[in-house]
C-alpha cells in the first residue's frame, strides 16, 4: 500500500510531537513536515511550505481555547490544496466547532486525545475513497424498503439487507428516511449526525462532508441515521436528487429504509430505486394495504419497480403465493421466515441477525442480497438516468 504523506499543523509543541509519533506509527503514513503556526493567508510562508511538502493529508490540531484561527487555516489549506485531505483534531464537546471544521473543508474530525487505531482508520478510509474515486463512471444502485403497514418489518429488512450487501461487496450505505429512525437502534449505533443534518447542508455537500455525516458500523456499513425526533425531514425534490446523486457516486449499494412513510419523499425515493421492496405479511389487512401502497407508488411511475417481500412468512392452507401477488399487484421477490425470538432479540440487543452468520435467517437475507444483484454488470440504470435529466 503506498504511503500517505502527512503535514502536521499544531501550535502546541507537545501535541505536535505526539501527532508525529502517532502518524509514523500507523505504517501507512509518514510525516513530511510539521509546523507550529497556523497559515493565515495564501501568501504566508507557512502556507507555501505546507504546499511544497505536497501532503496527501494535513492534520490540523484545533486548540480548545482558540478554534477560529485553526478553522481559518483549514479553510485556507482546503482552498489552496483542494486535492489534499484535511483531518481536524479537537474535542467532541464543541459540536459547533466540528460542524465548522467540516464546513471549512475538513474531511474527518478526530477526537483528542487521538490514538493510532483512530488515525489508522481515517487513513484507510481515505485510501479506500481514493481508490473508489479512480473507478470512474460507476454509479451505485438504490434499493428502497417500504412497509405495507406499520410494523411489517421494513427496518429489519433494510438493516439486514444492507449488512448482507456490505458483507458480500462492501461500499454499502443505509439511509434511514423513516419519520422516526430506528435503524441506528437495530445496530446499536449512536449517530452524531443524521439525515436532517445532511439535507440542511446539501447546498455545500461534497463527498467528504457526506462521509462525515455517516455513522460507521463495525462491518464497514455506513449509516445515514434517521431523525431522532418525530419532526419530518421534508427536503425539496432538488435536495433529494442531490443527496442521492452524491450517495450513488460514493457507494455501490444504497439501501433506504422508508418504513411507513407515505409521502412525496417516499414516492421520489421509489422513483430513484432500482427495486422497491414492499414488505408485507400474509394477513388480510397487510395485503390490502400493500395493494394500496403499490397503487400509490404506481401513480408516480414506480409500479414496475415494486417487488413484494413477504415477512413473517408461514404457509397458510388455501392461500398461495400467486394469490398474494394477485392481491397486491406485484411480483413476489422473497419470503422471510417468521422468527420472532431471533429477530426481536436481535433488535433489543442491537446485534442484527445478519451477524449470526450461519443461522437460517442470516442465510435468508444473504440470499435476498444475491437475488437483487445477480444481473449487476449488465443492469441498465434507466430509471436513474431518466431522473437525472429532469
Ligand X SMILES: Nc1ncnc2c1ncn2[C@@H]1O[C@H](COP(=O)(O)OP(=O)(O)OP(=O)(O)O)[C@@H](O)[C@H]1O
Residues that bind Mg ion (CB under 5 A): 155, 178, 182, 259
Give me the phi and psi of 189, to 5 degrees please: -105, 150
> Which cell numbers hold the place of 259?
418504513
336 scored as a contact of ligand X (CB under 6 A): yes
CB of 272 to Mg ion, least distance (A): 19
- Cα distance between residue 290 and residue 305, in whole Å: 14
> In this complex, which beta carbon is closest to ligand X, that of residue 58 or of residue 152?
152
CB of 124 to ligand X, least distance (A): 32
Give whichever of 10 and 347 is closer to ligand X, judged by the CB atom: 347
Q: Is 153 in the site for ligand X (CB under 6 A)?
A: yes
End-to-end alpha-carbon separation of the chain, Å?
Answer: 42
C-beta of 310: minimal distance to ligand X in Å? 10
In the complex, minimum distance from the CB of residue 103 to ligand X, in angstroms, rounded to a whole number? 32
Closer residue to Mg ion (CB): 182 or 312? 182
Say whether residue 144 binds ligand X (CB under 6 A). Answer: no
Q: Identify which range of 168-176, 224-232, 336-344, 379-387 contacts ligand X by CB under 6 A.
A: 336-344
Beta pairing, strands 306-313 & 331-337: parallel
Q: Which long-range contacts link 349-352 to residues 24+ away (Cβ below 8 Å)?
A: 349/188, 350/185, 350/186, 350/187, 350/188, 350/189, 351/188, 352/159, 352/160, 352/163, 352/186, 352/187
- Closest by Cα among 380, 268, 285, 280 to 330: 280
Q: Please name the residue that has the C-alpha cell 439535507.
A: 199
Q: How far is the CB of 224 from ligand X (least distance, A)?
A: 16
Strand partners, 142: 254
Residue 250 phi, psi (nearest 5): -95, -35
- Per partner kind, with CB cut-offs from 5 to 8 A, the member of Mg ion, ligand X, none near residue 219 is none
Q: Looking at beta carbons only, is 34 or 282 nearer to ligand X?
A: 282
- Choice between 6 and 159, CB closer to Mg ion: 159
Residue closest to 319 by CA, chosen among 282, 346, 345, 287: 282
Compare residues 82 and 150 and give the one whose CB is closer to ligand X.
150
Neighbours of 63 (CB within 10 A): 17
Q: Should residue 151 be labelled a site residue for ligand X when binding is judged by CB under 6 A?
A: yes
Total residues at the site for ligand X (CB under 6 A)?
A: 21
Q: In whole angstroms, what is the distance from residue 225 CA to residue 127 CA?
A: 24
Q: Could you say whether residue 88 binds ligand X (CB under 6 A)?
A: no
Q: Does residue 5 interact with ligand X by CB under 6 A?
A: no
Contact between 289 and ligand X (CB under 6 A)? no
Q: With respect to ligand X, which residue has the nearer C-beta, 39 or 153?
A: 153
Q: How far is the CB of 142 from ligand X (least distance, A)?
A: 18
Amino acid at each position: 500500500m503506498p504511503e500517505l504523506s502527512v503535514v502536521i499543523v499544531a501550535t502546541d509543541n507537545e501535541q505536535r510531537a505526539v501527532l508525529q509519533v502517532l502518524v509514523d506509527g500507523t505504517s501507512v503514513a509518514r510525516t513530511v513536515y510539521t509546523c507550529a503556526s497556523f497559515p493565515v493567508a495564501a501568501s504566508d510562508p507557512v502556507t507555501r511550505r505546507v504546499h511544497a511538502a505536497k501532503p496527501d493529508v494535513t492534520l490540523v490540531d484545533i486548540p480548545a481555547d482558540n478554534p477560529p484561527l485553526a478553522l481559518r487555516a483549514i479553510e485556507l489549506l482546503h482552498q489552496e490544496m483542494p486535492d489534499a485531505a484535511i483531518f481536524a483534531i479537537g474535542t467532541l464537546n464543541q459540536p459547533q466547532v466540528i460542524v465548522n471544521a467540516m464546513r471549512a473543508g475538513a474531511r474527518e474530525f478526530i477526537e483528542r486525545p487521538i490514538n493510532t487505531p483512530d488515525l489508522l482508520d481515517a487513513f484507510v478510509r481515505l485510501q479506500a475513497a481514493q481508490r473508489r474515486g479512480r473507478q470512474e463512471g460507476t454509479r451505485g444502485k438504490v434499493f428502497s424498503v417500504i412497509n405495507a403497514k406499520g410494523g411489517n418489518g421494513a427496518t429489519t429488512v433494510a438493516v439486514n439487507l444492507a449488512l448482507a450487501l456490505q458483507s458480500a461487496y462492501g461500499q454499502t450505505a443505509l439511509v434511514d428516511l423513516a419519520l422516526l429512525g430506528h435503524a441506528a437502534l437495530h445496530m446499536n449505533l449512536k449517530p452524531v449526525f443524521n439525515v436532517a443534518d445532511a439535507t440542511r447542508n446539501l447546498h455545500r455537500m461534497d463527498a467528504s462532508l457526506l462521509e462525515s455525516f455517516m455513522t460507521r458500523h463495525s462491518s464497514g456499513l455506513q449509516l445515514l441515521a434517521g431523525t431522532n425526533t418525530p419532526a419530518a425531514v421534508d427536503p425539496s425534490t432538488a435536495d433529494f436528487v442531490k443527496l442521492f446523486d452524491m450517495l450513488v457516486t460514493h457507494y455501490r449499494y444504497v439501501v433506504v429504509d422508508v418504513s411507513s412513510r407515505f409521502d412525496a419523499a417516499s414516492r421520489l425515493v421509489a422513483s430513484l430505486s432500482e427495486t422497491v421492496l414492499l414488505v408485507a405479511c400474509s394477513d388480510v389487512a397487510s395485503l390490502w394495504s400493500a395493494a394500496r401502497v403499490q397503487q400509490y407508488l404506481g401513480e408516480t411511475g414506480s409500479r414496475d419497480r415494486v417487488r413484494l417481500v413477504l415477512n413473517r412468512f408461514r404457509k397458510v392452507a388455501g392461500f398461495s403465493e400467486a394469490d398474494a401477488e394477485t392481491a397486491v399487484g406485484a411480483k413476489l421477490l422473497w419470503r422471510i421466515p417468521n422468527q420472532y425470538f431471533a429477530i426481536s432479540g436481535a433488535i433489543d440487543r442491537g446485534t442484527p441477525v445478519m451477524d449470526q452468520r450461519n443461522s437460517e435467517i442470516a442465510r435468508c437475507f444473504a440470499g435476498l442480497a444475491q437475488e437483487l444483484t445477480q444481473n449487476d454488470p449488465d443492469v441498465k440504470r434507466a430509471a436513474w438516468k431518466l431522473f437525472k435529466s429532469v
